[in-house]
């Protein structure tokens, strides 16, 4: 890919069972962007991100990503995974290491070190050995974000990472994700419903509205 782009979508149509939700999507996403995908409920934000991730096959067009060589960090909507983890917060974060580092020996020791460092950064050290069900909603979301970041991925994709969080935790998560882009050069894509909370963090957003998706300056986005 050219011009510093890490993800490109060309003439992309996405949807389900052959029925398009979005048509004619052309996006050039540069490495290191903090890019919220904004728009009304049901507009197709999650569908577009799932297609970029490769979880859905495009109905038309092409998506170019680096994911075959460097897998992304991914956080799905919390409500879809709450009950899947009867294990500790530390174990959940370490799960993010397994695709690249394996399950045993020195690799697991390195994964544990990375996971503990991130739990400390997220203020969760004292909760490391609690099960997922024992954590508050805000703590659970922090754990899932830490899992997505644990292998220092080039791209992090978040589906509504601040839904149902209190305002303080919402700000904390958004600022951590913004810092992952601005301070560490990661590309961060996230589904986000509101504009007000990202106005000071993102120069651009991807507006998903009325069957279209396009990049635009944050202060010009309306829906």
Which pTM does this prediction carry?
0.89
The per-residue pLDDT of the chain, averaged, comes to 88
Helix (H, G, I), strand (E, B) or coil at 70: coil
Structure-block tokens of residue 220: 């010009």
Mean pLDDT calculated for residue range 158-177: 85
**Quick one: 97 exposed, middle or buried, by C-beta within 10 A (0-12, 13-18, 19+)?**
buried
Tell me the domains of the chain and their CATH numbers: 1-72+153-223 (3.40.50.300), 79-152 (no CATH)
Q: Outline where DSSP puts E strands in 32-162.
A: 34-38, 60-64, 73-75, 155-159
Give tens-digit pLDDT for 195-216.
788 888 999 999 999 999 999 9
């Amino acid at each position: 890919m050219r011009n510093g782009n890490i993800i490109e979508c060309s003439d992309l149509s996405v949807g389900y069972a052959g029925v398009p939700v979005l048509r004619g999507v052309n996006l050039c996403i540069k490495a290191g962007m903090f890019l919220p995908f904004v728009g009304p409920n049901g507009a197709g934000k999650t569908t577009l991100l799932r297609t970029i991730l490769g979880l859905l096959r495009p109905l038309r067009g092409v998506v170019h990503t680096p994911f075959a060589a460097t897998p992304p960090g991914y956080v799905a909507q919390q409500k879809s995974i709450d009950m899947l983890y009867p294990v500790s917060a530390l174990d959940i974060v370490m799960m993010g290491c397994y695709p690249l580092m394996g399950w045993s020996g020195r690799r697991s020791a390195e994964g544990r070190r990375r996971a503990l460092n991130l739990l400390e950064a997220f203020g969760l050290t004292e909760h490391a050995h609690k099960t997922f069900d024992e954590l508050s909603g805000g703590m659970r979301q922090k754990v899932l974000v830490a899992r997505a970041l644990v292998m220092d991925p080039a791209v992090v994709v978040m589906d509504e990472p601040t839904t149902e969080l209190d305002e303080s935790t919402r700000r904390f998560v958004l600022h951590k994700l913004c810092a992952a882009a601005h301070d560490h050069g990661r590309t961060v894509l996230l589904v986000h419903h509101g504009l007000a909370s990202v106005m000071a963090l993102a120069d651009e957003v991807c507006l998903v509205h009325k069957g279209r998706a396009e990049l635009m300056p944050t202060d010009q986005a309306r829906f």
